[in-house]
């Protein structure tokens, strides 16, 4: 509809220049990121398979309505799980399968079915049950939601109100939501696509409550997909993020399911109503740790995308002059812009490699667990809880920093940044609300603080050991690690002391915890920060790579630590771990690191190796032609279908015609 | 479509109890907020007028598509400006008119026409031009966009590329966007509704550039509303926030306008091409100050709404137990929840009353300006720039804190919170990007730091005067003010010293500014913080009110200061203004203030006096019936039109039917 606008792009020249100036082998960094050269190749193969598939093509997300997005996401997912995956031999558990998250379309559905419904069948079901339900679920012969959260209950699981009452006569469980607030609310895929739900409900036998258990409940007719009698189910409406998904509500009134639909790996109800406990529920906690580490990888990926977009754009967006009389400069030349974007990049690296370390830790734990050794459960639970919380918090802030660093265009859906923000933000709330998670970690740490080092896991013992001395420059990586370790120890000890004092004064424990909660959260954060910086530093020390890469990784690791110190200097000063002089040095060093890393910034984001298709961003494409892409995308706005938007215009038309008469009258008078 | 779910609401009982426990007269607080009893009555009258009008009724925003929202917003605005306002004698400038922002529908269009196009005609136009265009614009006989920002240029005005070349022969200006990046981009109302634009362009006469000038350019046909020849105009596509508005692009190629369409209050082009400068452009800066203060009020209003929603919801949302064996408690009883929400409330108060003070300051300035006295321009410009920046930054963070404090439901559009977030966030970027504004203020402050107190405006002189001593408790209001003043002075002096040192070492000035920019921003923030806390404290001291109200206001003022200290303690410690001991006291006092204010929290948000209709939130309604409202709203989700979403289902149907066959086969085997 629009006349063509032709233009030579200075932007593509600018970004090519950035690439020429990068001082390290980008491909080698990509290999490190992927875990090896072969992994990079494999990942690229998978990504290509997805991106070249004509069935998976669809219009840009930013031009679609929510309803279109929902339908498209369902279509794509059905195709991927039933055609693309089996036809290409990509079996779950295979190495190829691990590269999925990079290859999957930006929007897809049936995710909760895949990552919650299916794993929970495995976690909670007996062998027999798994044999029955798992193949059905994997083939999309049934689609299941994980129905735990209720309208009135989230984090506090004991508060869940849905009831499953055993009816001996019919050998059925009768599922009921006693109140409006007890209906299931939020589960993904549940509103429209699922025909089954794994319902968490209070088991009641002969009037006695046995607490939360998992039940498989059919909610829609297998032939017509209509809701079954007693079932009220639907989409909960529009949301911030995950617009493509049918997060649902599910109200159940006297819905009857056979006795066999209680998933009974850990506990069973006999036909006569006898309740039998078979195994500890603690075992199922273990798998949460792995889920959280994998989930962190996904979240970090979103920030890596935001960094790619913002840094590439900042390299081509020119604004203002630095030198009097000079040309306009790319905004990436401004220290303040570097101060926004490069620490976000450091955050991606630190969280990612700490996540890799956490997965290794989990593998060891899983081996022990398989032998019945659960001794590390509390430690690994505390670590993974605070890790999930801080990574989602920091990466969410990071995406928002990247988005705002793009000025006006960061608000445009065509930039891809609002999409990333809306995709990442909910991670602060789902899979454990962050504040709740920090508190869980902190309570564990306070318990540890009253023990002897010898009685504590190796990774925790430093909390009760003597403070270490820093030698040499505060800004060296070794000293940064000591600085965070000391701070974490002093922080936990400080709050533990406060808790004891208050409790000794006779304050009830629940009040003590409540009154200390602000400090408890701080101590959990400092604890997990020392873990992240320590894990990243260990990786950097051990990784085999070329010198320029090693240097960049070291700089990113220092920057991660220094940026945190500089934005939280009060914590370190109050604990006496750093002096005001140290802080000044830390600030100066951060600025120096920004300057040093700046020429490599575009190279570092290139190393993430996102395809243009996976970024879905007019600002982030590899070639830097941002303005032409924005214009092309704007033309696709649904509001531009006609040159005059008649629906809107008709409300203005009478007044504008009056205006025409006045203006043309004026003209004829002249 | 759904069966009815009946329920007695515990939530409404809980919120009534909160109201009974409030220890101050809520109505008196409302009057203070409005500026007097009569103002409250007047505001309520206006709000009622709008809310009772059947023409302004429309479905909830969260159930509409963007296109529906756009059309509805245009319809409402056309009706308001052409019918409701004139029919009720609500003339611009009247007292009634000031209450508009509270009465206007949550979504409306033609806002840029009203608050930018019209004022700019007044600011830039000659008397004759104002006489011609103003009545047309006020009656919506023409609709105008304010076309300044370009695809490739925002904050750096000198970079604007659109050209207006004078053609002596035809006595016309020829408007051209030389490149894709020079097309106008972002202006509200411009894409579809406007038929005129106030275009900022470089004036060129006989090959010589005269810099930016304002031109009125007709862009659409007065009869058909079709784009004129040479004009390519449309909607830029979907955005984060302001979905109802047609932010547009405008590409002009050889668009000719008569010579009279250069708005010539300050400068003129004679028929022979002579350029005449008539007045300083500095005069037009003055009006920006007022715009920013009014605009801050609007932004603060959004946070006040978010606080109302989050605090009411937190009073009825029960989660977890505090006392062992006790009942579930409202989440507002948790210190961490108070720590999120009550400082946000303090922020609303502090920013609001500082804004009131700023408007008073502007009135005095405007009087002086009318007499040709522009001596306060630099000071008031620096103050208003950093005030705009910090208020939008802090209020945006505040809305996000409120939203996340509502857990999962804070992501639901039905909560109203995502809408508020998307509405407030862009304020950090439009009307001056915040980072740029802080830098402008900081540069002014650094200049001041090299002068004598006697040569500085009264409000700035403290920067170069001796540091004041704090006497008594650090947490008293008087000492908090001293603490912020001292910190601002030391901060500005510190960065000034650094700037001088670097420049003395021979570093080029542009490098000096760039390298100091992180600290420059910090000093601007500290400067404006001392202004805000000082202005709010003065208001609290002077306001005539009952004792309980006075106490609440004092507590909120202290809380505002203490919360900033506690979240930025490093700044104060590094400057040596506070000791670690002071900081511990500040933390403890904040927790005490939270406890003290908590029983009044619902009352304080009630005092904002938002109607349920103006909040558009299922979580924030006055009666506390959150769950029933969420359920009612979910039923309206467009995806629930049919019990089976056929479009999505057809992609799953073949697999689910396979599942039916397997499951029914299994059943018959049993």
Please tell me the predicted confidence (pLDDT) of residue A282: 64
Please tell me the predicted confidence (pLDDT) of residue A223: 97
Q: Which of residues 4-33 of A touch B (CB under 8 A)?
A: 5, 7
Q: What is the pLDDT of residues B538-573, one digit of tens each?
A: 999 999 999 999 999 999 999 999 999 999 999 999
The neighbour count for residue A279, using CB atoms within 10 Å, is 10
CA count, 13 A, side-chain hemisphere, A627: 24
Reported ipTM:
0.96
Please tell me the predicted confidence (pLDDT) of residue A520: 98
Got the DSSP string for A395-408?
HHHHHHHHHHHTGG
Can you name the residues that pair with A356 across neighbouring β-strands?
none
Q: Do B518 and A587 count as a contact with CB atoms less than 8 A apart? A: yes
Shortest Cα distance, chain B CAs vs residue A420, angstroms:
11
Q: What is the pLDDT of residues B485-535, one digit of tens each?
A: 999 999 999 999 999 999 999 999 999 999 999 999 999 999 999 999 999
Which residues of A are designated catalytic? 431
Mean pLDDT of B437-466: 96
Alpha-carbon distance A397 to A391, whole Å?
Answer: 10
Residues in chain B: 670
- The mean of the pLDDT values for chain A is 93
Alpha-carbon dihedral sign for residues A521, A526, A531, A535: positive
3-state DSSP call for residue A148? Answer: coil
pLDDT value at B574 more than 80: yes
Q: What is the pLDDT of residues A19-69, one digit of tens each?
A: 999 999 999 999 999 999 999 999 999 999 999 999 999 999 999 999 999
Q: Do A249 and B628 count as a contact with CB atoms less than 8 A apart? A: no
Identity of the residue in B240, B413, B631 whose CB atom sits nearest the CB atom of A411: B240
Residue B99 has what DSSP assignment?
Answer: T
Alpha-carbon distance A382 to A488, whole Å?
Answer: 14
The neighbour count for residue A266, using CB atoms within 10 Å, is 20
State the pLDDT confidence band at A6, using cuts at 50, 70 and 90: very low
Q: Do B429 and A407 count as a contact with CB atoms less than 8 A apart? A: yes
Task: Assess contact for A577 and A529: CB atoms under 8 A.
Answer: no
Mean pLDDT of B457-465: 95
Q: Do A249 and B411 count as a contact with CB atoms less than 8 A apart? A: no
Q: Is B620 on the interface with A (CB under 8 A)?
A: no
Q: Which residue of B has its CA nearest to A415?
A: B239
DSSP strands (E only) in A68-192 = 144-147, 163-167, 172-176, 184-185
Please tell me the predicted confidence (pLDDT) of residue A286: 61
**Assigned token pair, A102:** 């990079």
pLDDT value at B24 more than 50: yes
Tell me whether residue B379 is one of the annotated catalytic residues. Answer: no
**Assigned token pair, A174:** 């009768």
Alpha-carbon distance B229 to B253, whole Å?
Answer: 9
Identity of the residue in B142, B568, B644 whose CB atom sits nearest the CB atom of A225: B644
Q: Which of residues 521-580 of A touch B (CB under 8 A)?
A: 521, 566, 568-574, 576, 580
Q: Which residue of A has its CA nearest to B433?
A: A407
pLDDT value at A8 more than 60: no
CA count, 13 A, side-chain hemisphere, A31: 13
Residues of B in contact with A240 (CB under 8 A): 411, 413, 418, 421
Q: Do B627 and A152 count as a contact with CB atoms less than 8 A apart? A: yes
Identity of the residue in B65, B71, B339 whose CB atom sits nearest the CB atom of A648: B71
The neighbour count for residue A168, using CB atoms within 10 Å, is 13
Please tell me the predicted confidence (pLDDT) of residue A5: 41
Q: Do B408 and A421 count as a contact with CB atoms less than 8 A apart? A: no
Task: Assess contact for B518 and B605: CB atoms under 8 A.
Answer: no
Check B51, B68, B161, B431 and give the catalytic one: B431
Q: Which residue of B has its CA nearest to A393?
A: B404
Identity of the residue in B249, B322, B659 whose CB atom sits nearest the CB atom of A510: B322
Alpha-carbon distance B233 to B287, whole Å?
Answer: 30
Please tell me the predicted confidence (pLDDT) of residue A345: 98
Q: Is A155 on the interface with B (CB under 8 A)?
A: yes
Q: Do B183 and A5 count as a contact with CB atoms less than 8 A apart? A: yes
The neighbour count for residue B605, using CB atoms within 10 Å, is 25
Task: Assess contact for B315 and B410: CB atoms under 8 A.
Answer: no
Can you name the residues that pair with A40 across neighbouring β-strands?
none
Task: Assess contact for A252 and B23: CB atoms under 8 A.
Answer: no
Residues in chain A: 670
Q: Which residues contact A192 (CB under 8 A, 6 or more apart)?
A: A70, A234, A235, A246, A248, B639, B644, B645, B648, B649
Please tell me the predicted confidence (pLDDT) of residue B292: 75
Mean pLDDT of A174-202: 97
Alpha-carbon distance B498 to B510, whole Å?
Answer: 14
Q: Give residue for tokens 């609001």.
A: B352
Please tell me the predicted confidence (pLDDT) of residue B281: 67
Residue of A206, A534, A556 whose CA lies nearest to A347: A556
Please tell me the predicted confidence (pLDDT) of residue B276: 96
Alpha-carbon distance B573 to B580, whole Å?
Answer: 7
Phi-psi region of B477 (alpha: psi -120 to 50; beta: other; left: phi over 0): alpha
DSSP strands (E only) in B318-443 = 318-321, 328-330
């Amino acid at each position: 509809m629009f006349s063509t606008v032709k233009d030579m792009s200075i932007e593509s020249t600018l970004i090519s220049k950035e690439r020429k100036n990068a001082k390290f082998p980008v491909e080698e960094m990509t290999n490190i990121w992927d875990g090896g050269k072969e992994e990079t190749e494999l990942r690229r193969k998978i990504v290509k398979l997805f991106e070249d598939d004509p069935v998976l093509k669809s219009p840009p997300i930013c031009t679609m309505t929510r309803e279109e997005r929902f339908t498209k996401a369902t279509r794509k997912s059905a195709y991927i799980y039933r055609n693309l995956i089996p036809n290409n031999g990509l079996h779950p558990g295979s190495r190829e399968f691990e590269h999925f998250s990079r290859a999957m379309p930006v929007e897809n559905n049936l995710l909760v079915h895949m990552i919650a419904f299916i794993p929970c069948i495995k976690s909670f079901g007996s062998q027999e049950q798994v044999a029955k339900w798992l193949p059905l679920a994997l083939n999309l012969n049934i689609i299941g939601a994980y129905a735990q959260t209720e309208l009135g209950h989230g984090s506090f699981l004991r508060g869940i109100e849905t009831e499953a009452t055993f009816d001996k006569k019919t050998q059925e469980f009768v599922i009921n939501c006693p109140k409006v607030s007890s209906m299931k609310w939020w589960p993904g895929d549940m509103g429209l696509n699922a025909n089954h739900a794994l319902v968490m409900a209070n088991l009641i036998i002969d009037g006695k409550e046995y607490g939360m258990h998992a039940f498989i409940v059919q909610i829609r007719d297998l032939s017509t997909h209509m809701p079954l009698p007693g079932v009220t189910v639907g989409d909960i409406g529009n949301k911030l993020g995950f617009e493509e998904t049918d997060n649902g509500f599910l109200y159940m009134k006297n819905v009857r399911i056979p006795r066999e639909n209680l998933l009974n790996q850990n506990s069973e109800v006999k036909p006569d109503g006898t309740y039998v406990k078979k195994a500890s529920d603690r075992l199922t906690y273990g798998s949460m740790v792995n889920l959280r580490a994998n989930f962190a990888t996904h979240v970090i990926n979103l920030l890596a995308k935001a960094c790619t977009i913002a840094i590439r754009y900042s390299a081509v967006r020119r604004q203002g002059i630095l030198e009097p009389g000079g040309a306009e400069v790319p905004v990436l030349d401004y220290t303040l812009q570097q101060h926004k974007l490069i620490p976000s990049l450091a955050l991606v690296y630190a969280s990612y490699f700490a996540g890799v370390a956490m997965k290794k830790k989990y593998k060891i734990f899983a081996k022990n667990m398989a032998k019945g050794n659960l001794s590390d459960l509390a430690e690994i639970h505390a670590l993974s809880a605070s890790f999930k919380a801080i990574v989602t918090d920091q990466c969410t802030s990071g995406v928002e920093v990247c988005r705002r660093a793009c000025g006006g265009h960061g608000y445009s859906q065509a930039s891809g940044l609002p999409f990333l923000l809306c995709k990442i933000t909910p991670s602060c709330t789902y899979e454990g609300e962050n504040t709740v998670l920090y508190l869980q970690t902190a309570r564990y740490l306070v318990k540890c603080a009253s023990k002897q080092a010898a009685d504590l896991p190796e990774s925790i013992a430093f909390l009760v050991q003597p403070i270490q001395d820093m030698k040499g420059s505060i800004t060296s990586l070794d000293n940064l690690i000591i600085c965070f370790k000391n701070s974490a120890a002093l922080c936990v000890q400080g709050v533990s002391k406060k808790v004891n004092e208050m409790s000794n004064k006779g304050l009830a424990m629940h009040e003590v915890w409540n009154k200390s909660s602000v400090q408890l959260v701080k101590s959990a954060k400092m604890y997990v920060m020392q873990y992240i910086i320590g894990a990243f530093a260990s990786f950097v020390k051990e990784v085999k790579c070329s010198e320029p890469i090693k240097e960049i990784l070291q700089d990113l690791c220092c920057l991660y630590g220094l940026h945190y110190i500089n934005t939280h200097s009060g914590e370190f000063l109050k604990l006496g771990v750093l002096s005001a002089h140290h802080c000044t040095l830390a600030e100066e060093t951060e600025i120096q690191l920004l300057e040093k890393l700046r020429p490599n910034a575009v190279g570092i984001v290139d190393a993430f190796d996102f395809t243009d298709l996976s970024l879905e961003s007019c600002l982030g494409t590899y070639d830097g032609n941002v303005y032409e892409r924005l214009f092309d995308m704007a033309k696709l706005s649904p509001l531009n279908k006609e040159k005059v938007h008649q629906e809107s215009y008709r409300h203005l038309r009478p007044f504008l015609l009056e205006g025409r008469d006045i203006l043309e009258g004026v003209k004829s008078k002249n």
